[in-house]
Structure 1
Amino acid sequence: MSNKPIADPASTEKRATVYRMVMDKHICPWGLKTVHLLKSEGYEVDDRWLKTREETDAFKQQHDVKTTPQTFIGGERVGGYDDLRRFLGKTVNDPDATTYTPVIAIFAMGAALALAVSWLMGNALLSVMSAELFISITMCLLALQKLRDVDSFATMFLGYDLLAQRWVPYAYLYPFGEGLAGVLMTAHALNWLSVPVALLIGGIGAVSVFYAVYIQKRELKCACVGGNSNVPLGFVSLTENVMMFAMGLWMIFA
């Protein structure tokens, strides 16, 4: 990035030049986001396309940069998309930062689907049935995230689950058990199978999370939404397991 001072965006004439890759078989998504961001901030954009690999490489060498797009404002190079966001005073996401967003999205979708199914069946939106559906559907959605990459999930899960640490195959079986229990509980079918599975994985999971977080005081990432997630192990993870365990108990008496 240039060592020259960059003008304040508030005082700079709102004109920008963007160099981005637009090729026959590749259009840079970050370039599209850059142009959109500038226009949404009221900038007049001189949108210059790099149409070949040779043209792109020559541009990078000329400006001593490793990536495109590159934005220039007031005759100074601002940089790539993240640099532009900083220049405009906007936040830049940290890919390594912990976040509850994936879990919130899954729980929200589970709730929406539960209400939709309850409405379709002619039941009240807020009822025992909708609560049951919320838990069972959410179990299915969480299992789906884990099943996207079972090995990655198992590797992270082994870091804190007490049973998996003693019998490694359990880490690979867990997402299948959660998904199976969720589907059967949604259908209220084969309780003799779904209830023991939910009680087993929910109970062991709750104890494991509580022990790791509140006894050992460890700071770990949760495998609840699949491997390589940035969801912190803690209250949300404990809630997932308690919900499964509670659903298993409920199905015994329902």
Structure 2
Amino acid sequence: MSAAISPTASHRRAAIHRMVMAKHTCPYGLKALDLLKRQGFEVEDHPLRTREETDAFKAEHGVKTTPQIFIDGERIGGYDDTRRYFGKPVADPKATTYKPVIAIFAMSALMALAISYAALGTPFTARTVEWFIAVAMCLLAVQKLQNVETFATMFLNYDLLAKRWVPYSYIYPFAEGLAGVLMLAGALTFVSVPVALFIGTVGAVSVFKAVYIDRRELKCACVGGSSNVPLGPVSLTENVMMVAMALWMGAHAFL
């Protein structure tokens, strides 16, 4: 890629070469086209309609991918290169992040408020907290159930019980989902409470040992086996929430 030049008011024309085929329209081409237009550029759009046309373009310009963006005849590169050209951040797919967990907890809170409003006429009740934890458990279970195999592989890095009995790593997502659904419904407490208490306690001890005693830097399987969420306080919080919910519901049901 040629050295990037800072855009100025005089650099308002750009050209983009992107794949637009009958069975495939490049999503990064659409993103790049939108980005250029939002930056105020007049864009010459050059769709590559066939594989042969695309390969010929790549060979001509010595590039391996499309789209390719040109500004004032200077090749900027692909979509990420264009974002860098405009000084915009480019996501690192390998970087650790808490965004998936934040999104799940935020949506769980909103859903709990909505459920409380629909059921009790007000979003702020004592049960809102219960529904928040139950919904969070369900959503976290969904993330794991999308690919149980990859979850189990990551889970085996730190869970103490799974290391001793591998099948537990495959059972865990189903157990978490079952406990979450039952707690959300307020049904079969004699099942949901022991399950949540057990998996939450084992999980909390496992995370605490791995992070705070062994000082290991691992990724958490809490939102699935392909996540980049670091194992740490958030992972511990997930398990503590399950334990607290189990104790709370158990106290109300059995005392």
Query: What TM-score do the two structures reach when normalised by structure 1?
Result: 0.97
| Paired residue type of 1:223 | A
5 Å-filtered alignment, 1:179-218, equals 179-218=177-216
Deviation (angstroms), 1:128? 1.2
Distance 1:206 1:12 in 2: 58
Deviation at 1:6, TM superposition (A): 3.6
Q: Secondary structure at the match of 1:46?
A: strand
Q: Distance in 2 between matches of 1:155 and 1:31?
A: 35
Structure 2 unaligned segments of length 5 or more: list them. Answer: none
1:26 is matched with which residue?
Answer: 24
Q: Deviations over 1:44-90 (max 9, x none)?
A: 10011111111100000000000000000121100000000001110
Query: Per the alignment, in what secondary structure is the counterpart of residue 49 of structure 1?
Result: strand
1:123 to partner: Cα distance: 4.4
Q: Do residues 17 (structure 1) and 23 (structure 2) align?
A: no
Q: Which residue of 2 aligns with 1:247?
A: 245
Q: Is the 8 A contact 1:209 1:238 kept in 2?
A: yes
**In the alignment, what sits opposite 2:33?**
35
Select the residue among 111, 115, 118 that pairs with 2:113.
115
Q: Which SS does the other structure have where 2:75 is aligned?
A: strand
Q: How many residues align structurally?
A: 252
Distance in structure 2 (CA, Å) of the matches to 1:20 and 1:52: 11
SS in 1 for 2:16: strand
1:1-254 residue pairs with structure 2 within 5 A?
1-2=1-2, 5-10=3-8, 12-254=10-252
Q: C-alpha distance in 2, partners of 1:198/1:40?
A: 49
- 1:121-174 deviation digits (Å, cap 9, x = unpaired): 124322211000000111000001000000100000000000100110000000
1:252 Cα deviation from its structure 2 partner: 1.1
In 1: Cα distance, 2:235 partner to 2:176 partner: 14
Residue identity matched to 2:109: A
> Percentage identity across aligned positions?
65
CA contact (8 A) 2:15 2:44 kept: yes
Secondary structure in structure 2 of the residue aligned to 1:45: strand
2:32 aligned counterpart, secondary structure: helix
Structure 1 residue runs of 4 or more that deviate by more than 2 Å after TM superposition: none
Q: Secondary structure at the match of 1:48?
A: strand
Aligned amino acid, residue 118 of structure 2? L
Amino acid at match of 2:244: A
Cα deviation per residue 1:201-235 (whole Å; 9 max; x = unaligned)? 00000000011001111100000000021000000
What SS does the corresponding residue of 2:80 show, helix, strand or coil? helix
The secondary structure found in structure 1 opposite 2:45 is strand
Report how far residue 108 of structure 1 moved.
0.8
The answer on whether the counterparts of 1:7 and 1:74 sit within 8 Å (CA) in structure 2 is no
Residue identity matched to 1:139: M
**Distance in 1, Cα, partners of 2:92 & 2:22:** 32
Q: Secondary structure at the match of 1:121?
A: helix
Amino acid at match of 1:64: G
Contact 2:141–2:173, Cα closer than 8 Å, also in 1: yes
CA contact (8 A) 2:83 2:90 kept: yes
| Partners of 1:12 and 1:74 within 8 A in 2 | no
Q: Give the C-alpha shift of residue 7 in structure 1.
A: 2.8
